[in-house]
Chain A
């Protein structure tokens, strides 16, 4: 048991408490295991990797069989059962239902194995599986009368699992998020590795190698990490993500030092250098876009997006028509698109109503649904030229749906009888730019801007 703890503590700093309580619970295969343990905590707190290495250590040092699986992969109960049986080296590796599963497990009696550990990642998925899966797993020890423990890992607290039939009690372990000091400690723990990699990178340039060798001290690195965390800690506490970004930005941070333009002790100048790149990196956190040589990352503004999107000419008009149909009420169509729509009488009532609803602009309320007929009618109204209603035109609508610029709201199955409803999913700004490309003033046709 101590050996397990010792092996893990160096690997997972700041998790001593959790490791020791885990070790107390399942560290010794001679003792009886608890039936089930529930481990939860946010992403990036080390649940999965900690549990996995704990189990592997157990397997290495004691006569224990382990099974590690991911509930996402188990889209049917059968697959989960097979995976577990396979990992636990049961004789027969297939079972159709939970009853047979339990039977199979019972056959494992009488071998010299002292314990069985089953870890299931993303355990919240178990709730969506067959109704008997979760209760059986929680009482598996009782049902099989083996020294067996099920570890469930998830991001949710266990309260979210309660259902009508109720579940048996479970031991919960919470992995709290790392605080700033702990994060710093974890990030700086891979200093040696980073240094090694850097030295290797610079090995072909003697001068830079020398500077690098000299500058890379633990102090320098932790200084950098301090700066880094001051920007990032508010936005992201996911340790792997932070580690990745920190590595990426460290090259930029080190660059002026390697050039020889800035001393490695001059923290404020270094900060001025790195502040911009850090802020840029902050906007791209979690996006994981890798920079390749030629294609630089375009800025993600709507304008650029609208300009870079290549749509056929009529496709653009259809999109505009869809937007107009989504953001004007059908009552207004006649006024907007028919030339001689007659004069609109201004009544006190309507004026009042409009004043009251000033803040309820339909462009801000979100899109309404419309039928395909209305879409085509508006399309023909806003297009100057005369176009035949051909297959090519109609297939444009489905292309737009495929591109997720339009979406079916209802009646996707019965497009034929005209009851299918669509809505436009792009925003006003986007459509304004599209309109500008084809030379069409969209605002002119929106009730909100009249």
Chain B
């Protein structure tokens, strides 16, 4: 058998003796070793040594650490406050239970991670014992108290002093065996606390109880738990942390006053999920550091899932990772999607097949077509070595294109992001999507923006443009310059910005003259006024003419010096920045497919589950999944006797209304089967139903019921109710 490459071929769980044997010895190092072993054994050497896998892991590792760092930073402030509160609560008077309510936002699974990191943090500082108590463990008060006590006493923080020797370990093992669930009571906890932290010299550790999903707890359990904790808190320094998903009113509506008067509530606010996402996209996904890019549609798709469905940043990251995998695993040619120098090194490793992959990219064709030398065309298409020589230049063009795109996006965001009503969107990601999807200058919103910019007051306009320039320059120095090829990019951008600045100076100088023009024009206008006095108009026709004339006149006036200068600036921005650099993907340089992932249909199919649709396809057209020869359908509604009984029954039930008569159904089923077997023609006129057919029918109906499509009706005998619509 050849080694498994695809995960989808099969997953086998087999007991690994090694893990059990290793339990007693220091777990950490072994775990790491095991993890790496597992990884390699899952995918196989053949794959892990491929350049595409190397490129993928490298890229993902970079992104992952960046994301983790960013999240840690954004959570740091809240966690710090919370930690201050928790550790501070250890002192002070202890008749009321100190409680922190953390308003986390609605995606509860995401916040578990946050609490886990908080737990690790507290353990690392040895400031407290922490127990994360989830609602699924707390169906009853007994279960809640038991799991709380158990977790408090048993969870060994991972980084408890590392120098424990084996004896200590064994001792602890014994202790673990001694402690049964039913023994975990508050009394036991009291004893344990007195033994471990009760002495005078020992620093009193706070016992933190975290309820990450406050809303999911049953109210009575929660009330009793709080009453117990508050009764105990004279002896044990408990601190309660509630993860509240909705609002602080949820706490007050769950806890009646005799409970809420036992706690002292402090509210903490975490960063809202959409802000977190924007930060993530701005700082990581759109960072010029990475060669991998998402196309506008793919990014929009992922943000759509986030904003419309679940608000889960974790889900977003996983979706992004999936795109990354999908991109790299398309072939070894995609290993070129790294930074420039590494890509140069990898070009030599490419095989003939990989070169063919590159030739098949859709942007390769325009590239070939624009070469006007016949020989070179042939060379590019057939000679691998020739193409390999050409590749560095092409890759360089691509990378430069993305950098310039990104820098211009910075400028553009600053320019149009805060216009009234934000026609193009105010966030960088929205603009990114807009620019990359379609030629932006052709969109109506773009024209609206330009119009608004044209109407702006002078100092406002100057301030805006110079701010945009400053931002871009800062971006260039901070983000682009440290990169390879950064010099080329920033040099090009800087010349553009320089000319723009000059034009802006013109605008500023234009002030005086435009004033003069304005004054002149007002004088002019006073002459014109009596002429165009509207009261003297005789007919409607005349009025219209006069109005037209007047508006024309005003337009001429507005084309003052200042306005002309302003339009020059805008025009320059449009031609030199927007049109040249903010090009949509279809006008991007050749081979950009190597760097941009745009295949969203696969991703959609794989990361969004559509159970009903899949079931319907499976039952309606089993050929789709089974790939058998016997039941290929020309038409979706066709009924073939060779199909599985279940799908025959299903298709028949689709034709019925809400109630299905079982006898009619059976007859229909029988006739379908009969149509398939011509040799049974003789028996066909028998009234008696073949018991075998009936058995098959009954079984199929039972399966359909098991799948939840029908239910036997209680009201009407021998009828089934359809449950789907």
Contact = CB atoms under 8 A, between A and B. Distances in A.
Q: Which are the 10 A-B pairs with shortest beta-carbon distances?
A: A391-B609, A286-B257, A392-B309, A313-B308, A418-B723, A290-B266, A416-B708, A390-B610, A75-B141, A75-B142
A286 B609 contact: no
Interface string A294-311: 010100100001001111
B247 A305 contact: yes
Interface in A375-394: 377, 388-394
B261 A240 contact: yes
A241 B261 contact: yes
B216 interface: yes
A288 B106 contact: no
A351 interface: no
A72 B609 contact: no
Given A73-B228, A391-B608, A314 B723 contact: no
Given A308-B247, A391-B609, A73 B231 contact: yes
B116 interface: no
A287 B725 contact: no
Interface string A62-105: 00000000101101100100110010000000000000000000
Interface in A351-394: 373, 377, 388-394
Interface in A183-211: none
A217 interface: no
B145 interface: yes
Interface stretch (A26-34, A159-167, A395-403): A395-403
A56 interface: no
25 contacts: A43-B261, A72-B228, A76-B142, A82-B187, A240-B261, A286-B261, A287-B252, A288-B261, A289-B265, A290-B266, A297-B267, A310-B105, A310-B272, A312-B307, A313-B308, A373-B724, A373-B725, A388-B613, A389-B610, A389-B613, A391-B611, A394-B611, A402-B245, A417-B708, A418-B711
B186 interface: yes
B310 interface: yes
Interface of A: 43, 70, 72-73, 75-76, 79, 82-83, 86, 121-122, 238, 240-241, 286-290, 292, 295, 297, 300, 305, 308-315, 373, 377, 388-396, 399, 402-405, 416-418
Nearest to B274: A310
A309 B272 contact: no
Contact of B608 (A43, A86, A392, A404): A392
B725 A392 contact: no
A288 B264 contact: yes
A75 B227 CA distance: 13
B685 interface: no
B508 interface: no
A290 B250 contact: no
A403 B228 CA distance: 25
B310 A403 contact: no
A394 B216 CA distance: 18
B145 A288 contact: no
Contact of A402 (B213, B231, B308): B213
A150 B264 CA distance: 32
Nearest to A284: B252
Nearest to A48: B231
A338 to B, nearest CB: 14
B117 to A, nearest CB: 21
Contacts of A290: 264-266
Contacts of A404: 215, 246, 250
Contacts of B613: 388-389
Most buried by B among A79, A290, A300: A290
Interface residues of B, number: 59
Contacts of A388: 608, 610, 613
B692 interface: no
B547 interface: no
B222 to A, nearest CB: 12
Contacts of A396: 309-310
A72 B265 contact: no
B278 interface: no
Interface string B100-143: 00000111100000000000000000000000000000001110
B269 interface: yes
B611 A70 contact: no
B248 interface: yes
B619 interface: no
Contacts of A373: 723-725
B228 A402 contact: no
Most buried by B among A86, A289, A377: A289
B187 A72 contact: no
A71 to B, nearest CB: 10
A243 to B, nearest CB: 11
Contacts of A289: 248, 265-267
B609 A70 contact: no
A220 to B, nearest CB: 25
Nearest to B725: A373
A72 B725 contact: no
Contacts of A86: 187
Contacts of A311: 106, 311
Interface in B226-281: 227-228, 231, 245-250, 252, 257-258, 260-261, 263-269, 272-274
B612 interface: yes
A314 B267 contact: no
Given A392-B310, A395-B310, 20 more contacts: A43-B258, A75-B140, A82-B187, A122-B227, A238-B261, A287-B252, A288-B96, A290-B265, A295-B269, A311-B106, A312-B307, A312-B310, A312-B311, A389-B610, A391-B611, A392-B305, A399-B107, A403-B106, A403-B246, A418-B708
A416 B705 CA distance: 10
B397 interface: no
Contact of A292 (B105, B258, B266): B266
Nearest to B607: A392
A54 to B, nearest CB: 17
A363 to B, nearest CB: 20
B708 A313 contact: no
B224 A389 contact: no
Contacts of B609: 390-392
B185 interface: yes
Contacts of B145: 75
A390 B608 contact: yes
Contacts of A313: 307-308
A305 B103 CA distance: 13
A288 B263 contact: yes
A252 B266 CA distance: 20
A418 to B, nearest CB: 4
Most buried by B among A122, A240, A404: A404
A272 to B, nearest CB: 30
Contact of A377 (B264, B608, B612, B725): B725
A391 B315 CA distance: 13
Contacts of A121: 231
A313 B274 CA distance: 12
A147 to B, nearest CB: 26
Nearest to B262: A288
Interface in B595-626: 608-613
B610 A391 contact: yes
Contact of B215 (A43, A75, A238, A403): A403
A166 to B, nearest CB: 29
A309 B247 contact: yes
Contact of B106 (A75, A79, A305, A399): A399
Interface in B282-311: 305-311
A392 B711 CA distance: 26
Contacts of B305: 392
Contacts of A70: 227-228, 231
A123 B268 CA distance: 36
B652 to A, nearest CB: 20
Contacts of A417: 708, 711, 723
Contacts of B260: 286-288
A402 B108 contact: yes
A430 B300 CA distance: 30
